[in-house]
A and B are shown apart, each in its own frame.
Chain A
């Protein structure tokens, strides 16, 4: 098992810089997920760790060893690719054994490891098949098997589930999580799907445009997003962002009114108040209330997403329990409690109004 440390890592393609000066410490044994919209540099970062991309500037080390110039094969890691990248001309058994034979490992040791992986992933009866004879989920298992047999210090996953259908993806997510629990090896996992990130990670790194926006546990990211980007990226449906103007009485939110909240932290010219869909209260129970009209109701069974148009024309989304009855066209009262909301300054950074208390 290994800890990985990135120091001021930069990646340029020609003159275009796609990863800007990233520093990050990955602890031994953690399941770290790199998440962000496409083009944010998450795959590039993973590929630099893997040794598939050169590092333009900075250093990457595994343990105490700087690995900038160490070829991929000698970094003692294995990787699962989005397209699985199984060797089409080799049987499943050969696919699993290929890396080990390259290491000139004794034959009985190879057989032991391949057998063990096959048992663990329940692919024993597929061993003599070629990849094209496998279903998507089976290919995925073989790809994971090929990563396991090398018994590496570090696993890398590059969007491994995005080629699977929805049902299989949920199933593989569970299997990957239990695999991690069993092996306890450091894992770095890239995805654009925040549900995957939230459910599997011990820690998440949110990236955008080649920068780290925030590093934290799923709980921290959801409850204490450090800036507007993370606030709106993490959580589905997205957080509602309301414009507000600070005043002596407290922030004055459009459509709602003035929140009874004073203190030196709420200053400046503009303010954004973030309210997650489940943090609205239907009715007038909160600190401030707006009067809106329901424009759309999405019924999901266990819960209902209600789209509400406010007097200013802004639409917010509200999540209510599935047994609540709302109809499109009805009027509705929504209220906000100051304690539940998130506050962001003009610089788009979080203003920690209630954080100490909540975290404690």
Chain B
């Protein structure tokens, strides 16, 4: 049957028709691709425009910032950065050091405590495990505002207000369930036979965590570290509540102080400091983009 069908037409004819179809299709696909690229380029530009505008404005004199469409500064006012840096009672050097301290300790705390909890949930067997796991997942949903007041009362009574302890200690107690979840997802992908082989090779559960699970989870640890860095760096609510003395301010608090103190006049300086405050996050994003995107795909969160 098939043989007769083909032999009714000359072979060259069929090939030509097929080529025609293929070419038409390729042309259509090329045009669709081109349209997609144009769309994406315009979209990316719109998305980035506010950020570019901020960077440009940080280099302009205040009277040239508003009411113009062109963002390119006519003359570059680098002085905005210098003046902005020293505009508040404390210089931004202090705020950056404070932010760094809080962020680094928070990252360390998150990595240790969350990987502990994740290892227990993903690999160990103990009574009430499912119960605790369900509770942990529920804390993912609870807004910080719900626990805010009692936590504040607690830390006030401990004498921790206006220190960094309320910002850091919770991180050592695995208070960010997101990271536990991220690591649980990752640990579960590691073959269980590795743990079993290690068990037979004489490892305790503690040694398995240290010698097997942790070295194999560096990608997940990196993802958690990056997110933890970015979120802590940008965190506003907790510092707002717990830090009073301007000497203790983190960068976001200082920026807010800036808005209150100078907002109506020194926009160039305000934008200059805003740009600087985003710089570490931006650098992290550019360098570690791969880990960030994988982390999101892995958990389906954030």
**Contacts of B208-223 to chain A: CB distance below 8 A:** 211-212, 215-216
Interface residue? A137 (CB, 8 A) = no
- Interface Cβ pair total, 8 Å cutoff: 55
Distance (Å) between the CB of B130 and the closest chain A CB?
A: 13
If the complex has contacts A88-B216, A89-B215, are A78 and B191 also in contact, measured as CB distance less than 8 A? Answer: no
Whether B202 pairs with A81 at a CB distance below 8 angstroms is no
Of the candidates B191, B194, B203, B216, the one whose C-beta lies within 8 Å of that of A102 is B203
CB closest chain-B residue, reference A147: B200
Residues of the A chain whose Cβ atoms lie less than 8 Å from the Cβ of B196: 50, 52, 72, 79, 81, 85
Task: Knowing A83-B193, A87-B212, A88-B216, say if A72 contacts B207 (CB, 8 Å).
Answer: no
Which of B193, B201, B202 gathers most chain A CB within 10 Å?
A: B201
Judge whether A102 and B200 touch: CB under 8 Å: no
- Does B82 touch A at the CB level, under 8 Å? no
Contacts of A41 in B (CB 8 A): none
Asked if A33 is at the interface (CB within 8 A of a chain B CB), the reply is no
| Residues of chain B lying within 8 A (CB to CB) of residue A98 | 198, 201, 211
Q: Is the interface of B mostly helix, strand, loop or mixed?
A: helix
What's the least CB distance linking A131 to chain B, in Å? Answer: 11
Bound complex: CA A102 to CA B212 (Å): 13
A contacts with B, residue count (CB < 8 A): 23
Determine if A73 is an interface residue (Cβ-Cβ < 8 Å): yes
**A124 in contact (CB, < 8 A):** no
Q: Mark A76-98, 1 if CB is under 8 A from B, else 0.
A: 01110111011111000000001
Please give, as numbers and ranges, the residues of chain B lying within 8 Å of A77 by CB-CB distance. Answer: 200
Q: Does A51 contact B (CB under 8 A)?
A: yes
Q: Within the assembled complex, what's the spacing in Å between the Cα atoms of A98 and B212? A: 11
Interface assignment of A16: CB less than 8 Å from any CB of chain B: no
Report the minimum CB–CB distance from A157 to chain B (whole Å).
13
Question: Is B197 at the interface (CB under 8 A from chain A)?
Answer: yes
Which of B191, B194, B201, B215 lies in contact with A99, CB distance below 8 A? B201
A83 contacts B200, C-beta separation under 8 Å = no
State the interface size on chain B (CB cutoff 8 A). Answer: 16
A325 lies within 8 A of chain B by Cβ: no
Cα–Cα, bound, A52→B197 (Å)? 10
What 1/0 flags go to B173-217 for Cβ under 8 Å of A?
000000000000000000101101111111100010001100110
The contact of A50 among B191, B200, B212, by CB within 8 Å, is B200
B194 touches A85 (CB 8 A): yes
A359 to B113, CA, bound (A): 67
A83 CA to B197 CA in the complex, in Å?
11
Interface string of A103-114 (1 = CB under 8 A from B): 100000000000
Q: Is the CB of A81 within 8 A of B216?
A: no
In the bound complex, how far is the Cα of B207 from the Cα of A99, in angstroms? 12
B199 and A87 form a contact (CB under 8 A): no
Contact A85 B203 (CB under 8 A): no
A103 touches B193 (CB 8 A): no
Least Cβ distance of B193 to chain A in Å? 4
Bound CA span A78–B191, Å:
18
A-B contact pairs, 14 of them (CB 8 A): A50-B200, A52-B199, A72-B199, A73-B199, A81-B196, A85-B193, A85-B196, A87-B198, A88-B194, A89-B215, A98-B201, A99-B201, A99-B202, A102-B207
Chain A residues within 8 Å of B, Cβ to Cβ: 50-52, 71-73, 77-79, 81-83, 85-89, 98-99, 102-103, 146, 150
Which 4 pairs from chain A and chain B are nearest by CB?
Answer: A99-B201, A102-B202, A85-B193, A73-B202
